[in-house]
Amino acid sequence: MQVLGIETSCDETAAAVVAADATSAGPGAILSNVVLSQIEKHQAFGGVVPEIAARAHVEALDGIVAAALGDAATELADIDGIAVTAGPGLIGGVIVGVMTAKALAFATGKPLIAVNHLEGHALTARLTDGVHFPFLLFLVSGGHSQILLVRGLGDYERWGTTIDDAIGEAFDKTAKLLDLGFPGGPAVERAAADGDAGRFELPRPLLNRAGLDMSFAGLKTAVRLAAERHSPLDRRAVSDLCAGFQEAIADILAHRLERAIAHYRSHYAGSAPTIVLAGGVAANQVLGARLDAVASEAGAHLIVPPQNLCTDNAAMIAWAGAERLARGQDDGLGFAPRSRWPLDETAAPVLGHGKHGVKV
């Protein structure tokens, strides 16, 4: 089974072809994975401009799809299904991908699978490592910071989320504050490499509160106040601030992972979970190493997909489509793009980004 995937939810225009067996239990084979970054188009603004992103998708997507098919040495006639990110994301970009996928499905008569972008991240470890259900998902990206129990395909229970900024958003805003450029996550990680994490006293929000929810807005504000107190900042001060910020994030995530593992054990008779770290922030080596240490100490197993599959890509969308196609899903041409699409649609909303977690 070969599935074409299309991803245009933010600032990467991407297409890929993935091969799977009839059950799609994983692992699968990535036959092609073409990603066109728009970083240069957005750098001057310090963040992604939705209209610029959507226009860039329009200009590039047809060529990217053709390149993905060419790299896979296949043709549309040989594709078994077309999967596309139908949300959540910047709605202009999502519409571009969905309309392109609908056109291809209509022209070829192939099944069309509407994929939740977050489910693409969630299932990547099944593509790469054949991870079995259930598992814990730690989703950390520019727009999402969530801890979820993944019981099966489409069966998600959110245990914790950010109540304000997502982790990636906090990284990007910190980088912009310190004039480190865009994208902010890699820039902060590079600057922190030779910094003194103990020089500036920064908070660890919500660590004394029950549950698994997270907060990063106050940490971001503390970095801004420290920068203002020590202005003008030299290179050393910038590195130290970045190191302190990154260590605070690591402390928060490590604390929440410890609690999540304990909560999982209470659900599954003491068994240790497989933990999947997914999303763009999962590419941060320092955070990955810290969470791996926490998992190892608890007797759990942490899986982090390769860096090129942590950031937005179409291989993960093609794989999620393959899993759903194997179960007979065909969404047809009637579905509408969604700017918001939570994995756990039963969780009660909160004021910030995301939903309330469980009490732990």
Other Cβ atoms closer than 10 A to 115: 30
Q: How far apart are CA 149 and CA 4, in angstroms?
A: 28
CATH code for position 207: 3.30.420.40
Q: Clarify whether residues 303 and 180 are in a common domain.
A: yes
Q: Clarify whether residues 117 and 229 are in a common domain.
A: no
Q: Clarify whether residues 138 and 175 are in a common domain.
A: yes
Does some domain include residue 162? yes
Burial of 205 (0-12, 13-18, 19+ CB in 10 A): buried
Q: Clarify whether residues 13 and 60 are in a common domain.
A: yes
Beta-carbon contacts of residue 225 (< 8 Å; ≥ 6 apart): none
pLDDT of amino acid 360: 41
pLDDT of amino acid 351: 57
The distance from CA 356 to its chain's CA centroid, rounded to whole angstroms, is: 19
Domain that holds residue 193: 133-307
Q: How far apart are CA 297 and CA 39, in angstroms?
A: 38
Mean pLDDT by 10 residues, the chain (360 residues): 96 96 86 93 85 95 98 97 97 97 98 97 96 96 91 96 93 94 92 96 93 95 96 96 98 97 92 93 94 96 94 97 96 94 85 46
pLDDT of amino acid 237: 97
pLDDT of amino acid 354: 45
Does some domain include residue 358? no
pLDDT of amino acid 17: 98
Q: Clarify whether residues 144 and 95 are in a common domain.
A: no
Number of domains in the chain: 2
> DSSP letter string over 7-47?
E-SSSEEEEEEEE--TT--S--EEEEEEEEE-HHHHGGGTS
- Find tokens 């490499």 and name the residue: 193
pLDDT of amino acid 306: 94
Other Cβ atoms closer than 10 A to 175: 25
Does some domain include residue 102? yes
- Tokens, residue 335: 């579905």
Does some domain include residue 352? no
Tell me which amino acid residue 244 is: G
- Tokens, residue 318: 């093609």
Q: Clarify whether residues 164 and 239 are in a common domain.
A: yes
pLDDT of amino acid 357: 41
Q: What is the pTM of this model?
A: 0.93
Q: Clarify whether residues 121 and 173 are in a common domain.
A: no
Does some domain include residue 331? no
Q: Clarify whether residues 36 and 78 are in a common domain.
A: yes
Does some domain include residue 335? no
Does some domain include residue 355? no
Q: Clarify whether residues 116 and 199 are in a common domain.
A: no
Q: Clarify whether residues 167 and 207 are in a common domain.
A: yes
Q: Clarify whether residues 205 and 85 are in a common domain.
A: no
Q: How far apart are CA 154 and CA 134, in angstroms?
A: 12
Does some domain include residue 356? no
pLDDT of amino acid 350: 64
Q: Clarify whether residues 214 and 182 are in a common domain.
A: yes
pLDDT of amino acid 154: 95
